[in-house]
Amino acid sequence: MSGWVPASRYPDPAIETLDPSFAKYRLFNAAVERIAAGMRWCEGPVWFGDGRYLLWSDIPNDRIMRWDETDDSVSVFREGGFANGNTRDRQGRLVTCEHGGRRVVRTEYDGSLTVLADRFEGRRLNSPNDVVVKSDGSIWFTDPPFGLGSDYEGRIARAELGAHVYRIDGGNGAVTLVADDVLGPNGLAFSPDERRLYIVESRGVPHRRILVFDVTGEGAIGNGRVLIDAGTEGTPDGIRCDVDGNIWAGWGMGSAALDGVMIFNPDGAAIGRIALPERCANVCFGGRHRNRLFMASSRSLYALYVNAAGVPGG
C-alpha cells in the first residue's frame, strides 16, 4: 500500500538529518515500521502504557482503532462520533475530539462517556480537532470547521462559532476562549515547561505556519508570533514535543516529497525528517520509555524508535 517498502539496511534512509544536532535523536539500528494498514484517514494517536496499546482515529470509517503491543493485533476500540484528536488526562482517561458530536468527551473507567464541552456561550462548537492536557488538569483544544464540510468526516452543518482555541478548566469544567485569531487552528502542544503553547495555523495566508504563544497566566496566552513558516506546499498538522523541547510535526499534502514527519528545535529550525509514503496527520510518543514515535499517516500507522522521549499530556 502507498508504495511502502521497509528498510532493508541500517541506518534507515527514510530518517534524514537536516542539522547535526539531530544526530543525538536518531538510532542507527532503528527503522520505520508499518504496524497497521487499511484505514481511510488516520488521526489522533494516543498511547496507553498501562495496557501496552495504542488508540487512534480512523475518521471516515467513524471508529477508533486499537493496536496491541503484546501481540501486534489490530482491532476496533469504539465506533461512532467521528473521533479526531485524542489524548489522556492526568488520571489516565481518554479525552477525544469528536466531529460528529461536535464535542470533546472523556471516556470514564467503566467505558461511559462524559461530555466535557459541546457549546460555547450557548452556541454549538464546530468540529473539535486536536487536544492536549496541561499539568494543572486543564484541557486545551482547537475547533476549526473542518468536520462540517461533508458527511465523510462528520456531518454537513453550519458553523455557529468562529475557528477558535478553547480551554476546559480542570476543576470546574468551565470553557473559556483562548485564541480567536488563528486561521484554521489544528494541532497544538505545550513546551516541556508549559511556558509556551504551539498552535498549527493550517489556513494561514499565504503560507501555513506553526505559531508560538507565551502562556501568560492561568488559561491565558499572549505574544503570538510565527515560529515556523511551512511555505506554500508544506502542511503541518498534529504536533508533539519531546523533553528537550523539539517539535515533531506531521507533514505533507503539497508534494509527495514532503510526506512524513518534520522535526524542529525550540527555535523553529528544521533539524530532521522522517520520510513516509503517505502524508502524516498526527504523532505521539509511546512505548515503555515514551521513546517510540507513532505516526498516524493517511491509511496506515507507522512507528519508529528514537533517542528522545515525549512530554506528558500529549
Distance from C-alpha of 157 to C-alpha of 80, rounded to nearest angstrom: 18
What backbone torsions phi and psi does residue 178 show, to the nearest 5 degrees? -100, -45
pLDDT of residue 254: 66
pLDDT at 207: 87
- Closest by alpha carbon to 14, among 304, 217, 223, 292? 304
- Please tell me the predicted confidence (pLDDT) of residue 1: 43
Q: Is 43 annotated as a binding residue?
A: yes
Spatial distance between the Cα atoms of 75 and 165, rounded to a whole number of angstroms: 32
Asked whether residue 237 is marked as a ligand-binding residue, the answer is yes
| The residue to which cell 506546499 is assigned | 233
C-alpha cell at 17: 538529518
Fold of the 15-305 domain = Neuraminidase (2.120.10)
186 is in an annotated binding site: yes
CA dist list (Å): 312 to 89, 205, 289: 10, 32, 12
Burial of 310 (0-12, 13-18, 19+ CB in 10 A): buried
Distance CA 76, CA 55 (A): 9
pLDDT at 205: 82
Q: Which three cell numbers stand for residue 47?
A: 498511547
Half-sphere exposure of 226 (CA within 13 A, CB side): 13
Q: Residue 311, exposed/middle/buried by CB under 10 A (0-12, 13-18, 19+)?
A: buried
Compute φ and ψ for 74, nearest 5 degrees.
-120, 130
At residue 232, the pLDDT reads 78
Closest CA to 183 of 220, 209, 158, 147: 209
Q: What is the pLDDT of residue 87?
A: 98
Q: What sign has the CA pseudo-torsion 251, 253, 258, 260? A: positive
Q: Out of 58, 62, 237, 259, which one is annotated catalytic?
A: 237
Residue with cell 509556551: 196
CA distances from 160 to 42, 199, 281 (A): 27, 22, 26
237 is annotated as an active-site residue: yes
Query: Beta 119-120 vs 123-124: how paired, if at all?
Result: antiparallel
- The reply, when asked if residue 121 is annotated as ligand binding, is no
- Using an 8 Å Cβ cutoff, are 200 and 236 in contact? yes
* CA–CA separation, 310 and 243 (whole Å): 6
Task: Show the low-confidence residues of the chain (pLDDT under 50).
Answer: 1
The response to whether 229 counts as a known ligand-binding position is: no
**Which amino acid is located at 34 in the chain?**
R
pLDDT, residue 313, reads 66
